[in-house]
Amino acid sequence: MSAVRYIFNTHGAHVAYVKNDKIFTADNRWYGFKQGNFVFLKTRKFVGYLRGDDRIVKNKNELPRPWHFPPFEPFLPSRPMLPPRRSPMTRLPSEYEDIFETAT
């Protein structure tokens, strides 16, 4: 059984989770995948980075990165237990944007 990593937005709301390098939204839809700390949509478009504070952010000034392998649509895992809400996180530098900023 693989571990689940919960993803939060800057406001502290749980917005997604990572299991087996696949990213699923909080309502259990496949969002994309990660390679290292690079995050790609299921359409293979580069989105941004998975940070150590469990946020996915993009650099507004950066060019897109290529993907390295085509993703296969995964079987939807059973939804993990919901984590508790976190306290709001520190603001990001101006060139970065939380891709789930508006999700609460």
Asked if residues 13 and 104 have their Cβ atoms less than 8 Å apart, the reply is: yes
Say what the pTM is. 0.85
Count of C-beta atoms within a 10 Å radius of residue 9: 22
pLDDT at 34 over 90: yes
Rounded to a whole number, what is the distance in angstroms from the first to the last CA of the chain? Answer: 29
Alpha carbons 16 and 9: distance in angstroms, whole number: 9
Q: Using DSSP bridges, classify how beta strands 46-50 and 30-35 pair: parallel, antiparallel or unpaired.
A: unpaired
Residue-wise pLDDT for 57-101, tens only, equals 999 998 877 766 666 777 778 888 888 888 989 999 999 999 998
pLDDT at 1 over 60: no
DSSP label of 3: -
